[in-house]
Amino acid sequence: MKYTRLAVAGLAAAVTVIGVSPLVSPATAQAPAVTTFTPPASTYTPPRTPWGDPDLMGVWDYQTVIRMQRPMDLAGKARFASDAEYLAWAKVNAPNRDSMGAGVGAYNEFWNERNFVKNLNTSLIVDPPDGRYPPLTPQAEQRRKEILSKAREYASWEDYHALERCLATHTPNGPQAYNSGTYIMQSPGWIMIVRERLDTRIIPLDGRPHIGSNIRQWNGDSVGRWEGSMLVVETTNFTDKQRMGGASGTSVPAGIPFGNFKVTEYFVPVSAERIEYYATVEDPTTWTRPWTFNLPWERDRDYRILEYACHEGNIALGNSMRGERVLEAEAAKKGEAGK
């Protein structure tokens, strides 16, 4: 954040991100052949580091009003025709958490940065061309239903979202409501991506292979390379424990395990102040085809990244589990009374 207010986690996953819809269609027919996604080329040439790599160092942010999936009322419209049309749509559709309705809710607008990066696309997903997640395979749809049916049992702390436990967000990272500053640092043969909220990724650029397939991590194992001025990062070796989406900063809907994912990220500098970030997600056991989203990053020279004190004063998990035990006891009493 700009002069960041430390966000102390309560139930972080209670914040539903504007970009991620929980709706994913099951496959109903054979998918057409799909070609590999290639990001649009950039004519911009960034400065070089002393050792000759493109210099992307600095703090970037990617707040957006654009949803991950194209809204149905914009079906068939890939881009807004002008800045004026985009601004008019954004004015009506920008999130406002000051009016949460019934329930406890989450952080209000005081905690949320709304420094939206302009994006004329009508959805973050740019491939498939309809701007929607591709259909799930039948097996993935069944697996998702089973996971979601047990998602709120709360028998153990392990049943909570990784964000609620202050462990990790998603790679690739989707738009989030707060603490979204991202710091890129480079050294010879390495690039480090520091997300203010939770995750730091240290990525080798020396052509090494991925770690063994038996080693699984929340954000996978990333290896990178330069293709001209574009940074390409390939990530595998995710853990299936990363399976709950639908919260701020997530890119994948809830109920989809990451274990078979291959993610290819493209960092395309298009000016000194902007990176076009693309991420392609592949998993033939989950979707009928790969899909790609585009989330523009903008340099923010005023952003100060501070400690993300996620667990400071966090008593939400204990309270939540105690509440679940009370509800279970009440249900048991009612069951006994009804016999």
CA distance 194 to 184: 6
Burial of 246 (0-12, 13-18, 19+ CB in 10 A): buried
Residue 126 has pLDDT above 90, yes or no: yes
The mean pLDDT value for 46-70 works out to: 95
Residue corresponding to tokens 């102390």: 8
pLDDT bracket for residue 45 (50, 70, 90):
very high
The mean pLDDT value for 262-290 works out to: 96
Residue 313 has pLDDT above 80, yes or no: no
Q: Using only C-alpha atoms, what is the Rg of the chain?
A: 21
The mean pLDDT value for 123-149 works out to: 93
pLDDT bracket for residue 91 (50, 70, 90):
confident
- Residue 244: the pLDDT is 74
- Residue 16: the pLDDT is 35
The mean pLDDT value for 144-153 works out to: 83
The answer to whether the CB of 68 falls within 8 A of the CB of 251 is yes
SS3 172: coil
Which has more confidence, 95 or 325?
325
Strands, E, within 129-240: which ranges?
A: 182-187, 190-195, 200-204, 221-227, 230-236
**Amino acid identity of 217?**
Q
SS3 208: coil
Residue corresponding to tokens 């595998």: 236
The mean pLDDT value for 114-138 works out to: 93
The answer to whether the CB of 320 falls within 8 A of the CB of 332 is no
CA distance 104 to 102: 7
CA distance 94 to 101: 17
**32: preceding bond cis by omega (within 30 degrees):** no
Tokens describing residue 129: 């061309």
Which has more confidence, 313 or 275?
275
Residue 132 has φ and ψ, to the nearest 5°, of: -125, 155
Q: Which of the residue ranges 71-75, 95-99, 158-162 would you say has the lowest mean pLDDT?
A: 95-99
Burial of 74 (0-12, 13-18, 19+ CB in 10 A): middle
Q: Torsion-angle region of residue 154: left (phi > 0), alpha (psi -120 to 50) or beta?
A: left
The answer to whether the CB of 248 falls within 8 A of the CB of 308 is no
CA distance 219 to 235: 8
